[in-house]
Amino acid sequence: MLIKEVIAYMEELAPLPLQESYDNAGLQIGDALQTFSGGLVCLDVSMEVLQEAVASGANLVISHHPVLFHPLRQVSTETLAGEVVMYAVRHNLVVYSAHTNLDNARDGMNACLGRLLHLENLRVLLPNPRWEHAGSGAIGELPDPMTEGEFLAMVKRELGAESLRHSRLDGRSVRRVALCGGAGAFLLPEALRQEADAFVVGEVHYHDFVDFQGRVLMVETGHYESECVIKSDLVAKLNRKFSNFAASKKEKTPYQHL
C-alpha cells in the first residue's frame, strides 16, 4: 500500500476544501508514492516527533498544525521548519497536515472535543453554507445541568489540563455548551446568540474576557490541551482502515506552569 492511499482517506475524513483561506493543510514534505510502513500522529511536527517516527519504523507523520504554515525563505538549521524539512527528507519521511479542514470537518476536532466533554445533540456552531454538517466550532447539551464549579472541574479532568483560566463565576447553571479547539474566540458572539451557558476554547484574548464578562462562562483550556484530544481519535479511525498507526508520546504542551 502506498502512502498516497492513506492521504486519500485522510482527505475523506477532512476534505481539503474545508480549510480556511489562510491555511496550508495537505502534503507538506516527502514522496507519497512510497510504500507505507507505519504512521505517527502528532499535534506539532518537531525534531523529537520525527526522531520518534524513525525509531518506530514509521515513514508517515500526520500532524494537526502544518510545519510549513509560513513560506520558507531558506532551508537550513537556522529555523525549526528548515531543520524539520532537512531531517524528513534525509530519512525519507512523509509529513502530512490536517489543520483547519480537520477543525471544520463533520466528525473532526470539535466533535471529538464535544464527545470528550459528554455533550449530547452535538451540532456545528457556525455552519459552512457550502458544506452540509461542516463548519466552525460545536454546541451541545450536557445530560444534566452542572454548577459552574462542577463544570470547570469536569473540563479540567477530561482534558488532563494542569490549569484553566475562566471568567468570573456568577452562580449560573451550565447545560448548553459551545466550544472550539485552538484559537476559537472569534466564535464568542455566535455562542451568545445561541444562548450557550459556557464557552470552552483553547485561547481567549484579554479583551474578550473584559467584553464578554458576565454574559457567558468562558473557559480557556490552553491551545495544546484543547487540540491534543484529536490524536487518539484520529489514530483509532486510521487503525480501523490501515493499522500500524500510533499517537506520538514525545510531544507535550510547550507551556510550563508554576
Decide if domain 3-102 falls under CATH 3.30.420.40. Answer: no
Which residue in 142, 145, 44, 31 sits closest to 92, CA to CA? 31
CATH number of 106-227: 3.40.1390.30
Compute the distance between CA of residue 50 and CA of residue 70 in angstroms, rounded to an integer.
Answer: 20
Which residue in 200, 186, 20, 28 sits closest to 100, CA to CA? 20
In this prediction, residues 100-126 reach a mean pLDDT of 97
**What is the predicted pLDDT for the residue at 71?**
85
- All 3 cell numbers of residue 113? 472535543
Residue 209 has a CB neighbour count (10 Å cut-off) of: 16
Is 255's pLDDT higher than 90?
no
Compute the distance between CA of residue 70 and CA of residue 85 in angstroms, rounded to an integer.
Answer: 13
Would you give the DSSP letter of residue 243? -
Which residue in 254, 121, 231, 235 sits closest to 181, CA to CA? 231
In this prediction, residues 97-125 reach a mean pLDDT of 97
In this prediction, residues 46-62 reach a mean pLDDT of 98
**Could you give the percent of the chain with pLDDT greater than 70?**
100
Residues of the chain with CATH 3.40.1390.30: 3-102, 106-227
**What is the predicted pLDDT for the residue at 77?**
86
